[in-house]
């Protein structure tokens, strides 16, 4: 792919990602592989490797922050396991391929002929360098938005599979055993623009609030609300909780 075609594809991607570049050159750099520079007789530091280095650090911070707030009761060791999968070459390469980051990539002829634009290691590096470009051009908030848009669903899925029984299921079983109904979740607030919302959710039992949670998605806010509710119900006797809520247990029906 020549430089003109690469620029055209890059602009299409930026439009798709809702990114209005201040400096388009930094995004071009993020798409320039060392093999291309070698064939052009240019120094490798003009390619995407430095941005890859920066993007790797930004992704690590964003994913760590997301895990910290999404799973407030998960131990450090389990959080590290989830993070290692979420930021792995396999995950980032697969994500880059799915969203088309390999299309505007400038590779050397030899690398291109051997399928470099589909190679997982190269795609993972491009995801990191592209994040680095966003960070330099638009700042941390925009880089965070991009990362969470494509990695947050996986983070939540990995976290749900981290324990044999998630918090929402535990709360539901408690409620059904004592009262015979399931908890209800309701969004009570949201802040931020459409592409970077922060949700507040209330979980209740027969209209009586049990807890509130927050998160970058409705799902993560519901999980947080369930954690808060479980802390409340597990710290007290069942009968005391029911009396506070003005409810009657199944045993008394």
pLDDT, tens digit, 9 for 90 and up, residues 106-134: 888 777 777 777 788 899 999 999 999 99
Report the candidate in 249, 62, 207 with the shortest Cα–Cα distance to residue 139: 62
Long-range pairs for 171-175: beta carbons < 8 A, 24 or more residues apart: 171/203, 171/210, 171/226, 171/229, 171/230, 171/233, 174/230, 174/233, 175/205
Q: Whole domain around residue 60: which residue ranges?
A: 3-160
CATH of the domain at 97: 1.10.1520.10
Pair (124, 214) in one structural domain? no
Residues 145-162 pLDDT 10s: 999 999 988 887 776 654
Catalytic option among 52, 56, 137, 222: 56
Q: Which of 136, 160, 184 is the last residue of a domain?
A: 160
Residue that is last in its domain, among 160, 189, 207:
160
Does residue 101 lie in a domain region?
Answer: yes
Residues 6+ apart with CB under 8 A from 146: 17, 19, 131, 134
Question: Is residue 18 annotated as part of the catalytic site, yes or no?
Answer: no
Q: How many CB atoms lie within 10 A of CB 248?
A: 13
- Say how many residues make up the chain: 253
Pairing of β 184-191 and β 198-205: antiparallel
Is this model's pTM higher than 0.85 or not?
no
Tokens of 231: 């802390």
237: domain CATH number is 3.30.160.20
Catalytic member of 49, 52, 111, 128: 128
Residues 39 and 93 in one domain: yes
Q: Do both 12 and 79 map to the same domain?
A: yes
- 20 and 128 both lie in a single domain: yes
Comparing CA positions, the residue from 100, 106, 129 lying closest to residue 37 is 106
The answer to whether residue 56 is catalytic is yes
For the segment 21-29, the average pLDDT, to the nearest whole number, is: 95
């Amino acid at each position: 792919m020549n430089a003109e075609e690469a620029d055209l594809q890059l602009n299409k991607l930026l439009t798709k990602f809702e990114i209005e570049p201040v400096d388009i050159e930094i995004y071009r750099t993020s798409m320039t592989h060392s093999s291309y520079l070698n064939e052009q007789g240019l120094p490798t530091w003009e390619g995407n490797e430095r941005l890859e280095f920066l993007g790797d650090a930004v992704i690590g911070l964003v994913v760590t922050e997301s895990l910290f707030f999404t799973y407030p009761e998960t131990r450090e060791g389990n959080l590290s396991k989830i993070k290692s999968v979420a930021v792995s070459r396999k995950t980032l390469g697969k994500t880059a391929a799915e969203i088309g980051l390999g299309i505007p990539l400038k590779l050397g002829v030899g690398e291109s002929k051997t399928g470099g634009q589909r190679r997982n290691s190269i795609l993972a590096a491009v995801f990191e360098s592209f994040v680095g470009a966003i960070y330099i051009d638009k700042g941390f908030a925009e880089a965070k938005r991009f990362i969470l848009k494509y990695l947050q669903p996986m983070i939540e899925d990995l976290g749900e599979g981290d324990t044999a029984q998630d918090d929402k299921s535990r709360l539901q079983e408690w409620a059904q055993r004592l009262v015979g109904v399931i908890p209800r979740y309701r969004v009570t607030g949201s802040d931020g623009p459409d592409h970077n919302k922060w949700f507040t959710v209330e979980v209740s039992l027969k209209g009586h609030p049990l807890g509130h949670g927050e998160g970058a998605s409705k799902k993560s806010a519901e999980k947080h609300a369930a954690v808060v509710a479980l802390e409340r119900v597990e710290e007290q006797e069942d009968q005391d909780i029911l009396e506070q809520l003005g409810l009657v247990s199944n045993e008394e029906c």
